[in-house]
Amino acid sequence: MTLIPPREPIAIVRLDDLSASVELSRALLAGGVGIVEFTLTNRKALDAVENVREHLGDHMIVGAGTVLDAESARSAILAGAQFLVTPVLAPEVIDCGRRYGVPVMCGALTPTEILSAWQAGADFIKVFPARTFGPAYIKDVLAPLPMLRLVPTGGVDAHNCRQYLEAGAYTVALGSNLVNPRKVSEGDWEGITRAASQVVSACRD
């Protein structure tokens, strides 16, 4: 299994246009972000997974997000996804990931959902939307459940990611606060690299 390293931020790419997925990934990598997730909300997401694996496969960990069912999970794995992410508790996606030896980051929010995802075999728990309760919630959940790898997502940015990590989060995932749609559409790769560098510095310092 590909293991997502602790404290290594994950870039969530949820864009209408993925034609520059390789350039975007290079820009993220230049800033120190080596894990990227392309969400299946875009029908070209699996093409992006394939392209980035082909061009940067030795340097980046590439996953598929918003995976809702076993069929989508299998398609993502066949396209080269090295990890799967769900926005909700989705046991069939966990089962598919385990069958193929691909880690699954399962979405959950309440303590019951979080524990259920772990008991179902999820490798990581995506606490979503994290902005609902903030970093203190991560600390509170981990107090009775310290064995969990929690990955807060939703509202995470360079200013609060360190707080989530200090609260016990395994790592964090960032969407538009890192992969800014305007910067991507303008081809502002230097801006993306700077944003990535800021997030990495905040997470590691």
Catalytic residue among 23, 37, 166, 190: 37
Q: Which residues have CB under 8 Å from 2's CB, separation 6+?
A: 61, 82, 83, 102, 103
Q: How many CB atoms lie within 10 A of CB 101?
A: 9
What are the tokens at 7?
């404290």
Catalytic residue among 126, 139, 183, 186: 126
Q: Quick check: is 166 catalytic?
A: no
Q: Quick check: is 126 catalytic?
A: yes
Long-range contact list for 67-73, CB < 8 A, 24+ apart? 67/40, 67/93, 68/40, 68/93, 69/93, 70/95, 70/96, 72/40, 73/97, 73/104
Q: Strand runs (DSSP E) across the chain, as ranges?
A: 10-13, 35-39, 61-65, 84-85, 104-108, 124-127, 150-152, 173-174
Which residues are catalytic, by number? 37, 126
